Chain A
């Protein structure tokens, strides 16, 4: 329990409060004492002044009568009237050494104890002296009372602090234990475990919610990893089996053209397997997001032109047409190499699945939603229900299972789009399919920085 951070914090706060109350107490006692002393002194002074006045008006007899009268009044101050030769004429205070002004005297009590009193001595005519004083016992009593109350208050603060800290610590401790417990359970393999989330919005609740979101994300990643491993195992089994078959056939064949053909076929299979691996690793690396540092301003239309120029002759040879719409520059910030590969994948996809005599158009322009890069074919298209799943790794339409391709082309497109904050989607081009990538940030035509820098 003592190792609990919240309890330590509570103890620390309690100590701080105790110190604060102590300081407050000392200041209060001192201030009160000073105020009471001043008041007491003022009372003595005003009594002295009154008796001095009495002496002036009524003479010695008058003042000694007044003193005797006051001596009999309970709760009054102490008085004394002393002659020039030190003889006590009236009152309890018979201190004959008293000199004019303030002094502290010891006075013997009837019970034998000595009492300290504060005295003001005034000189009267003919060497008479008037003493007025009193003990400041009442001030000390108030001091003592105050001190006692403050000690009680400190006790209360300590109690409240410790109790509060304890219950706070227990509450916090329980909630932290819940998080720790969930983490331990996950370490032990229960990946579905989550931290209980109560409503309320304090920082610990938010921590629990964040923790759970993190776990969901990790869970999703684990699931996708598991699925990818399964897919790899499943999708590579076929080419690996074929490779093995070819190698066996080559081993059995007599040296000559048949063996060379078998080895060449095996190399082809191996290259296909390696390219699948390369694509997977590339997707993983793109999804890692490290490439974003290499972003630069680039013209999508120029990329589109390069790709169309590169692929148009092969398309033509296959009886298809590949065309580029529009021609104005469209600037976005991105990775030229990856955007090029993305467009190549889309174009190859279109040419491969749209069939012979197909017409494939590449569109690149700025629309209200942002810069768009689209590849539109007039082939058979894809059923609505299948479109979204085509971006998954290894997902292929049943109809295209027999055609070459790793099923990773569109997964790479999706990964590159995500890296650029763009959205890749498939649409019905009626007839045919439109694969569209929308770069939200290229909503307007960005200026080409090269034009302003070079100044040529």
Chain B
């Protein structure tokens, strides 16, 4: 994917660029808001990563400007620690996701991948399918290998999110935000518990394990190799 990274801190910018490049992305790095705005408005990217606080032109200003001129590229905003109002402000300005600094690189990578546009599919999806796991979004039913799986509403939401991000890494924080609407980190690892319950319903008694745990990163739902 082609990414734009606007980050004014030299070391952070260089480190993120190297790591994202190693993860297989082509990265343009702008070290100031003005350069960032020029690139964002002039080039085409798959995902943009904007730091909120930048000298001269800040991240929100860039975001508002490009959104006003019709650029629909998904944008991930990086915000400072403790800024609890930043998320709302960032999403209102047209951001698609936000991440609080400091963050684990795995978290950034997972979110960038999740933001990238999927290949165009039918507009209204009523069925999700991964290997022999099938989810009917209208009837709210799940089957695996033709056998019906009974899920609690929250488990259904969790599985739906995983299936919509098939093959991509999904972090605990992403799940907390998407499934429970928790925008903070509880001390208890509730995600692991829910995932293991979901896994016991989805994977137990089946040959291939669909829900995989990636150490230090999160989870991934994909067809077994």
Contacts and interface: CB of A to CB of B under 8 A. Distances in A.
A341 B81 contact: no
B10 to A, nearest CB: 22
Given A309-B154, A310-B180, A275 B185 contact: yes
Nearest to A313: B193
Interface residue tally on A, bucketed by range:
20 to 34
A291 B84 CA distance: 9
B102 A404 contact: no
B138 interface: no
Interface stretch (A238-246, A276-284, A357-365): A276-284
Interface string B59-82: 000000000000000000000011
A306 B180 contact: yes
B82 A285 contact: yes
Contact of B188 (A286, A314, A336): A314
B188 A311 contact: yes
Contacts of A313: 190, 193-194, 197
A348 B154 contact: no
B127 to A, nearest CB: 26
Nearest to B215: A264
Interface in A266-299: 274-275, 277-278, 280-282, 284-286, 290-291, 294
A286 B185 CA distance: 17
A233 to B, nearest CB: 19
A229 B85 CA distance: 24
Interface residues of B, number: 25
Contacts of A290: 85
Interface in A124-183: none
B180 A341 contact: no
B117 interface: no
Interface in B70-112: 81-85, 88, 100, 102
B188 A340 contact: no
A67 interface: no
A314 B81 contact: no
Nearest to A341: B184
A344 B186 contact: yes
B181 interface: yes
B187 interface: yes
B18 interface: no
Contacts of B125: none
A274 B80 CA distance: 12
A443 interface: no
A380 to B, nearest CB: 20
Given A310-B194, A337-B183, 10 more contacts: A284-B82, A294-B85, A294-B88, A306-B181, A313-B194, A314-B193, A344-B182, A344-B184, A348-B188, A404-B187
Interface of B: 81-85, 88, 100, 102, 152, 154, 180-190, 193-194, 197, 216
21 contacts: A274-B102, A275-B185, A277-B81, A277-B82, A278-B100, A285-B83, A286-B84, A294-B85, A310-B154, A310-B186, A311-B186, A311-B188, A313-B194, A314-B193, A336-B181, A337-B84, A340-B181, A341-B184, A344-B182, A352-B187, A405-B187
6 closest A-B pairs (Cβ-Cβ)?
A281-B82, A314-B193, A313-B193, A341-B184, A310-B190, A314-B188
